[in-house]
C-alpha cells in the first residue's frame, strides 16, 4: 500500500529527480521511489548516519544527537 506524503525539497534535488525521471521515462514520484529503493538496498543505517554527520545540517534545523 502506498502512502501520500508532502514535503519541501531544494530545487537542486527536484532538478535531479526530473533528470532521473527523464532518462528512465518515469514520473518524478517513481524516480524518487527508485532512488529511495537504491539507498535502502545498498546502504546500511550506519552508513546513512555517517553521511548525515559528515554533511552537517542540511536545512538549518537543529540535528538530533543520538
Predicted pLDDT of residue 37: 97
User: How confident is the model over 21-33, as pLDDT tens digits?
Assistant: 999 999 999 999 9
User: How confident is the model over 2-19, as pLDDT tens digits?
Assistant: 888 888 888 999 999 999
Contact 34, 24 (CB under 8 A): yes
- Short-list 47, 6, 55, CA closest to 38: 47
Q: How far apart are CA 41 and CA 37, in angstroms?
A: 6
Q: How far apart are CA 51 and CA 64, in angstroms?
A: 14
Predicted pLDDT of residue 52: 87
Name the residue ranges covered by the structural domains of the chain. Answer: 11-54
User: How confident is the model over 37-64, as pLDDT tens digits?
Assistant: 999 999 999 999 998 888 876 665 555 5
Predicted pLDDT of residue 58: 62
Predicted pLDDT of residue 55: 82
Amino acid at each position: 500500500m502506498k502512502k501520500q506524503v508532502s514535503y519541501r525539497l531544494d530545487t537542486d534535488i527536484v532538478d535531479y529527480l526530473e533528470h532521473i525521471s527523464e532518462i528512465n521515462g518515469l514520473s518524478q514520484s517513481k524516480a524518487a521511489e527508485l532512488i529511495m529503493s537504491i539507498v535502502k538496498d545498498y546502504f546500511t543505517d550506519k552508513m546513512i548516519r555517517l553521511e548525515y554527520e559528515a554533511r552537517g545540517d542540511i536545512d538549518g534545523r537543529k540535528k538530533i544527537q543520538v
